[in-house]
Amino acid sequence: MKAYDILLAHQVKPSVQRIAIMEYLMEHKTHPSAEEVYASLSEKMPTLSKTTVYNTLRLFAEHGAALMLTIDDKNVNFDADTSQHAHFLCKTCGKIYDFHTQVGLSKTKELRMEGHEIEETHVYYRGVCKDCLKDKMTN
């Protein structure tokens, strides 16, 4: 699906800036922060402001067009992959990895806890990634 269609499908009005931000998220599966998105797009779009980028990303998350991750307490990160998946943060390099595993995840739509309706589940793991583990061993 194209960024334009994804925005429409989630009832987000597809403005030029919103499409550019969505495309950036779709092309960069590294879970960028609002600052990263702004830093990359502001070169091409000088009228873009940091606030607009942040508000747009939050809007995407509210409409279910993107995921908002709070795995890193210093940054809020965004993910265009809205399928159920877990995240792993490396405490050494700060990289966020995707885990497409069902461990710890259940179909949230079907889940009702004590009458509450669950809309989102976030599974976060923190540790040291395999690349950093390798560095540690060779040093």
Size of the site for Zn ion (CB under 5 A): 8
Q: For residue 54, what is the enclosing H or E element?
A: helix 50-62
Own/partner pairs for 105-112, CB < 8 Å, 24+ apart? 108/84
Tell me how far apart the alpha carbons of residues 67 and 60 are, in angstroms, rounded to a whole number.
Answer: 8
Q: Near Zn ion by CB under 5 A, which window of 4-12, 52-60, 84-92, 114-122?
A: 84-92
Q: Which of 40, 58, 98, 124 binds Zn ion (CB under 5 A)?
A: 98
Q: Does 26 bind Zn ion (CB under 5 A)?
A: no
Candidates 20-28, 35-43, 45-53, 127-135: pick the segment binding Zn ion (CB under 5 A): 127-135
Give the position of tokens 């990303």.
57
Indicate which single residue of 9, 93, 111, 118 sits in contact with Zn ion (rule: CB under 5 A). Answer: 93
Are the beta carbons of 55 and 68 closer than 8 angstroms? Answer: no
Q: How far is the CB of 49 from Zn ion (least distance, A)?
A: 26
The answer to whether residue 79 forms part of the interface with Zn ion (CB under 5 A) is yes
Smallest separation (angstroms) from Zn ion to the CB of 55:
21
Cα–Cα distance list, 30 to 14, 24, 33, 108, 118 (Å) = 23, 11, 9, 24, 27
Contact residues for Zn ion (CB under 5 A)? Answer: 79, 81, 90, 92-93, 98, 129, 132
